[in-house]
């Protein structure tokens, strides 16, 4: 199996695979000989197979609690390169999921590597130890029950918004939100699974897999995701619109013949009230807004969607549940004591929080030691810790210290490398405001544009890149034009993007990387029915 195939296998290692449910809600386990990994976790149940591995029900003998243990199948990697892909994905999933501290996301307890002591030549086994979740997934619920009551569907969507607000604050885009990745547990709480295909959001087509195909499920894929020009939090909102439509209508938002992803690029969904007249007009409008083709025409963020769902939720303190499918926990229950989404994080543009009245004059040795420690952590991929070390230096120092601009530059670079785009944006804006050198200012503006695009602020990013292009040296102009074309595609302005891409094809020999990439995007636009001809 090639590394391309490994990347494209569906990520079915959700926790639900480790806890299948009967109609009565009891968990079936096949007991076998207990096996222990990492000298701590016992594997107690025979799991269902997944695309890249297995999910076991296990037990943590140290903390005396049941856990879910996701095993990555390293034997599927036939070459060192494929193994590196698997290990990278293993680490990414564990780290990404661990950063989303929300009750709607299964908690990550450990990332364990188990090496058999009796077989030192045997490849290490990789495990992610997670919170065990029991419940039913939304795909099975819809298949068994059909459309949900309005209050139930709204309650599920509102809980998903709460999860997304936390994930997008990391920042992480789920990329594959769909009914099979949404569970309702026995308390009516919604759990969003399989952030394993998520990645901190970026702006370029490196977010595609090596075959050039986007990551995700075609029946629930935002147009910009299919076009391969990067995803943003608003891509998850589009998919949420697909899920909400399906919960209310009992069928997918865009049904029909042909390629599902192409329908999302071209077709408009049938208004919900034509399928189900009891749906409130405002709720129908929200679903249509979520399913807008242009990301900038969708609601601003998960908080805005949550605000529009609130009027359709049961009031706090309501004692009677709305009627719903028998045998399923009521998802409106959490709104008897509402779960509010995480507050919007502010973008910090200044030097940081208030500092002591008498700032410390840092010695050269102390400052150098701190910067060296941050660089060491950075080189080990421990970006959060590296940023924290630098922030401690900046918080202690006199802000007029002439050595601090270099520390701030390192700090901003660490945030960017760690894909903490929201804080990096504030850091680079602060550097740009104080820059005295023209080349430095230009570099900071490019980073600002990158962060804006990564955060889904496409129009602002486009304006910044076009401003940079006006006086760009030849060495930068091609890259800037490619980024502008990507943003135009993300904004669903395929005609403008095609014109720019054709100009790049004409200017360079066929084998030039800019020409090759431009032709690939033009082919994608043409395949999607855009104006590439």
Mean pLDDT of 500-518: 93
Mean pLDDT of 48-75: 76
Q: Distance (Å, rounded) from C-alpha 295 to C-alpha 184?
A: 28
How high is the pLDDT of residue 277? 95
Angle, in degrees to the nearest 10, between helices 233-249 and 302-309: 30
Please name which of 112, 126, 137 lies closest in space to residue 17, comparing C-alpha atoms.
137
* Three-class HEC string of 339-389: CCCCCCCCCCCCCCCCCCCCCECCCHHHHHHHHHHHHHHHHCCCHHHHHHH
Mean pLDDT of 98-103: 88
Mean pLDDT of 317-336: 76
- Paired with 397 in beta bridges are 360
Does an H or E element contain 36, and which? strand 31-37
Beta strand spans in 282-345 (E): none
Q: Which residues contact 377 (CB under 8 A, 6 or more apart)?
A: 383, 385, 386, 389
Q: Rounded to the nearest 5 degrees, what angle is found at the Cα of 457, between the Cα atoms of 451 and 460?
A: 90
Mean pLDDT of 344-366: 66
Two structure tokens written together for 418: 């760690």
How high is the pLDDT of residue 532? 52
Q: Distance (Å, rounded) from C-alpha 60 to C-alpha 42?
A: 7
Domain spans, the chain: 3-130, 135-336
CB 185 within 8 Å of CB 133: yes
Is 416's pLDDT higher than 90? yes
Alpha helices (H) along 109-222: 138-145, 150-169
Mean pLDDT of 328-342: 75
Q: Distance (Å, rounded) from C-alpha 328 to C-alpha 306?
A: 23
How high is the pLDDT of residue 202? 42
Q: Distance (Å, rounded) from C-alpha 198 to C-alpha 522?
A: 26
Query: What is the percent of the chain with per-residue pLDDT over 90, rounded to a whole number?
Result: 40
Q: Distance (Å, rounded) from C-alpha 316 to C-alpha 319?
A: 9
Q: Around Cβ 405, how many Cβ atoms within 10 Å?
A: 14
Active site residues: 176
Q: 417 in helix, strand or coil?
A: helix
Q: 146 in helix, strand or coil?
A: coil
Burial string for 42-73 (b: 16+ CB within 10 Å, else e) reads bbbbebeebebbbbbbbbbeeeeeebbbbbbb
Q: What is the DSSP letter of 124?
A: P
Q: How many residues does the chain have?
A: 533
DSSP 200-231: ---SSGGGS-TTSPPSS-GGG--HHHHHTS--
Q: Alpha carbon 300 to chain centroid distance? A: 16
CATH number of the domain located at residue range(s) 135-336 in this protein? 1.10.510.10
Q: What is the pTM of this model?
A: 0.77
Question: Is the Cα torsion angle 126, 132, 135, 137 positive or negative in sign?
Answer: negative
Q: 43 in helix, strand or coil?
A: strand
Q: Distance (Å, rounded) from C-alpha 485 to C-alpha 359?
A: 47
Is 244's pLDDT higher than 60? yes
48/194: higher pLDDT: 194
> What pLDDT band is residue 290 in, cutting at 50, 70 and 90?
very high
486: left (phi over 0), alpha (psi -120 to 50) or beta: alpha
Is 205's pLDDT higher than 90? no
Q: What is the DSSP letter of 123?
A: P
Mean pLDDT of 430-438: 90
Place of tokens 């045997």: 122
Is 386's pLDDT higher than 50? yes
Fold of 3-130: Phosphorylase Kinase; domain 1 (3.30.200)
Q: 5-9 contacts: CB < 8 A, separation 24 or more?
A: 6/52, 6/76, 6/77, 6/82, 6/85, 6/86, 7/85, 7/209, 7/210, 7/211, 7/215, 8/209, 8/211, 8/213, 9/51, 9/52
12-31 pLDDT tens trace: 222 233 332 323 333 333 33
Please name which of 392, 384, 462 lies closest in space to residue 420, comparing C-alpha atoms.
384
> What pLDDT band is residue 333 in, cutting at 50, 70 and 90?
confident
How high is the pLDDT of residue 467? 96
140-190 pLDDT tens trace: 999 988 999 999 999 999 999 999 999 999 888 998 899 999 999 988 899
Is 120's pLDDT higher than 60? no
Q: Around Cβ 438, how many Cβ atoms within 10 Å?
A: 9
457/526: higher pLDDT: 457
How many H-runs (helices) and E-runs (strands) does the chain carry?
Answer: 19, 9
Q: What is the DSSP letter of 346?
A: P
Spatial strand order of the sheet with 135-137 comes to: 135-137, 182-185, 190-192
Is 312's pLDDT higher than 90? yes
Q: Distance (Å, rounded) from C-alpha 509 to C-alpha 518?
A: 12
């Amino acid at each position: 199996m090639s590394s391309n195939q490994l990347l494209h296998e569906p990520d079915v290692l959700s926790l639900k695979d480790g806890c299948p449910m009967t109609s009565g809600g009891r968990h079936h386990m096949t007991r076998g000989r207990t096996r222990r990994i990492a000298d701590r976790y016992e594997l107690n149940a025979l799991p269902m197979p997944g695309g890249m591995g297995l999910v076991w029900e296990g037990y943590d003998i140290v903390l005396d609690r049941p856990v879910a243990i996701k095993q990555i199948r390293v034997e599927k990697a036939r070459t060192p390169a494929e193994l590196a892909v698997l290990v990278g994905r293993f680490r990414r999933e564990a780290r990404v999921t661990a950063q989303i501290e929300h009750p709607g996301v299964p908690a990550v307890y450990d990332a364990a590597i188990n090496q058999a002591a009796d077989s030192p030549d045997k490849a290490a086994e990789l495990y992610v130890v997670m919170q065990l979740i029991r419940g039913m997934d939304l795909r099975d619920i819809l298949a068994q029950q059909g459309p949900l009551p309005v209050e139930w569907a709204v309650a599920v969507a509102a809980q998903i918004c709460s999860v997304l607000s936390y994930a997008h604050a990391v920042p992480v885009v789920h990329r594959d939100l769909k009914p099979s990745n949404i569970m309702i547990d026995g308390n009516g709480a919604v759990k969003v699974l399989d952030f394993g295909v998520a990645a901190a959001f970026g702006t370029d087509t490196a977010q595609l897999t090596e075959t050039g195909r986007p990551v995700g499920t075609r029946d629930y894929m935002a147009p910009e995701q299919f076009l391969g020009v990067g995803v943003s939090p608003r891509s998850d909102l589009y998919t949420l619109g697909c899920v909400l439509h399906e919960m209310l209508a009992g069928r997918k938002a865009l049904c029909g013949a042909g390629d599902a992803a192409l329908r999302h690029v071209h077709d408009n969904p049938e208004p919900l009230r034509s399928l189900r007249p009891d749906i409130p007009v405002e709720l129908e409008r929200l679903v249509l807004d979520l399913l807008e083709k242009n990301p900038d025409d969708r609601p601003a963020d998960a908080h805005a969607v949550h605000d529009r769902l609130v009027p359709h939720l049961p009031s706090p303190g309501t004692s009677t549940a709305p009627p719903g499918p028998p045998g399923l926990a009521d998802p409106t229950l959490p709104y008897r004591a509402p779960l509010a989404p995480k507050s919007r994080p502010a973008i910090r543009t200044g030097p940081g929080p208030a500092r002591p009245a008498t700032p410390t004059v840092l010695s050269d040795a102390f400052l150098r030691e701190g910067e060296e420690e941050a660089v060491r952590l950075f080189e080990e991929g421990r970006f959060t810790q590296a940023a924290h070390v630098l922030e401690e230096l900046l918080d202690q120092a006199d802000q007029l210290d002439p050595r601090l601009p270099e520390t701030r530059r390192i700090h901003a670079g660490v945030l960017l490398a760690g894909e903490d785009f929201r804080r990096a944006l504030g850091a680079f804006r602060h550097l740009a405001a104080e820059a005295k050198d023209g080349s430095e200012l230009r570099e900071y503006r490019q980073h600002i544009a990158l962060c804006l695009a990564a955060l889904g602020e496409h129009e602002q990013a486009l304006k910044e890149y076009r401003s940079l292009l006006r006086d760009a040296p030849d060495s930068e102009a091609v890259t800037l034009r490619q980024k502008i074309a990507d943003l135009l595609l993300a904004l669903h302005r395929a005609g403008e993007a095609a014109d720019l891409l054709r100009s790049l094809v004409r200017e360079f020999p066929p084998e030039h990387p800019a020409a090759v990439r431009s032709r690939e995007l033009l082919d994608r636009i043409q395949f999607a029915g855009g104006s590439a001809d």
